[in-house]
Amino acid sequence: MSRARTARRIAAGAAYGGGGIGLLGAAAVGLVLAEVQLAKRVVGTGQPDPPRADGRYGSEFGGPDARPLRLAMLGDSTAAGLGVHRAGQTPAALLASGLAAVAERPVELRNVALSGAMSDDLDRQVGVLLADPSAYAPDVCVIMIGANDVTRRMPPTQSVRLLTTAVRKLRAAGAEVVVGTCPDLGTIEPVYQPLRWVARRVSRQLAAAQTIGVVEQGGRTVSLGDLLGPEFAANPRELFGPDAYHPSAEGYATAAMAVLPTLCASLGLWPESDRLDTTRNEDMLPVAKAASAAVAVAGTEVTAARAPWALLKHRRRRRVAALEPAEVTPAAAQNPSPQP
């Protein structure tokens, strides 16, 4: 079965309450479990909590009373920035500083991502963000989720259902939503064959199904193959952190550069329009085919067009500069929003 058809089946099961559609053949389970145990012994654990990056970025734009754009980050350890030591190296801080520079407006960042989270934690994270709309109502939200769903064998239909529910609630609250889909787990260095092949196949199938669900709710997706994909495979010592699993500061910057153009475009701030550029292999495809194509090329954006069609975009990236903690508004840095 093609990846597009598999992704459509998973998304349909998520939307209509179908049972778990397995992505692994039963005959492979015993071998895969043995490889998982070996990988767990090799991959490092015990990372310290990620640094807190909540606060105001780009304070040089506008006066103290200027209304900031409000950016929220949700998801797992990748969204939280596990593995780096400075707040300015986290993907949320990189995106906030990049958004501020493009918009020429201050950006208020709130990160509710939780290390180790699966998609079943998104409902709690959304609840934290939307608890008091008069105090904080995000303009745009970035979600990075899915890797733990794969490694802990959450049924893909359940994973997609939980993600699309979160996107629906955020969209209903007036926020734009950008989802960094499940990264390619087949390039984690200590993971050996055949688990590596299985991990790549399963994570890409989940990413394609996530894309279908998110686009149908009015969100945009970006393939995070760059996160653990070809660039990471080519430079594992530079782009993986000390535990050989989570990205390093350079790796998070690579991922942030892939997400930033779509983040800005969702707010109408990116200089490139949503018109197709055929010289960059952009296309309008049925959403399932667009989702399948996107996961094969890291950094690819999928956004809704006329149903059931979607735009496949390859936006030009800009380098994202790290923002040091001292550049965050002191009051915001000393009194960040609560984070689980």
In degrees, to the nearest 5, what angle opens at C-alpha 131 toward C-alphas 129 and 134? 95
What is the reported pLDDT for 285?
Answer: 93
What is the reported pLDDT for 197?
Answer: 76
Every domain of the chain and the residues it spans: 3-14+29-333
How many angstroms separate the CA atoms of 246 and 82, rounded? 7
Give yes or no for a contact between 59 and 329, defined as CB atoms under 8 angstroms apart: yes
Residue closest to 31 by CA, chosen among 186, 193, 166:
193
Average pLDDT, the chain: 79
What whole-number percentage of the chain has pLDDT above 90?
43
What is the reported pLDDT for 84?
Answer: 85
Which whole-number Å values give the CA distances from 318 to 98, 176, 271, in the listed order? Answer: 9, 21, 12
Higher pLDDT, 18 or 213: 213
Higher pLDDT, 39 or 56: 56
Higher pLDDT, 241 or 269: 269
Residue at 35: amino acid letter: E
Which residue reads 């997706």 in tokens? 221
How does residue 243 score in pLDDT terms, banded at 50, 70 and 90?
Answer: very low
How many angstroms separate the CA atoms of 121 and 113, rounded? 9
Residue 119 a catalytic site member? no
Give yes or no for a contact between 203 and 150, defined as CB atoms under 8 angstroms apart: yes
Mean pLDDT, rounded, for 169-198 = 82
Residue 77 a catalytic site member? yes
How does residue 299 score in pLDDT terms, banded at 50, 70 and 90?
Answer: confident
How many angstroms separate the CA atoms of 264 and 221, rounded? 13
Structure tokens at 287: 């959403």
Q: Does the pLDDT value for residue 60 go beyond 50?
A: yes
Point out the catalytic residue in the list 59, 77, 97, 203. 77
CB within 8 Å of 134: residues ≥ 6 apart: none
Residues in the chain: 340
Q: Does the pLDDT value for residue 216 go beyond 70?
A: yes
Q: Quick one: CATH architecture of 3-14+29-333?
A: 3-Layer(aba) Sandwich (3.40)
Q: Does the pLDDT value for residue 267 go beyond 90?
A: yes
Higher pLDDT, 65 or 189: 65
Point out the catalytic residue in the list 243, 274, 277, 283. 243
Taking the alpha carbons at both ends of the chain, their separation in whole angstroms is 40
Residue 243 a catalytic site member? yes
Which residue reads 């960059």 in tokens? 280
How does residue 189 score in pLDDT terms, banded at 50, 70 and 90?
Answer: low
DSSP 3-state of 70: strand
CB within 8 Å of 168: residues ≥ 6 apart: 217
CB within 8 Å of 164: residues ≥ 6 apart: 14, 15, 213, 214, 216, 217
**Of the candidate ranges 183-187, 234-238, 328-332, 336-340, the one whose mean pLDDT is the lowest:** 336-340
How many angstroms separate the CA atoms of 114 and 125, rounded? 9
How many angstroms separate the CA atoms of 22 and 30, rounded? 15
Point out the catalytic residue in the list 54, 119, 226, 246. 246
Q: Give the pLDDT confidence of 123-171 residue by residue, as tens digits.
A: 999 999 999 988 889 999 999 999 888 878 888 999 999 999 999 999 9
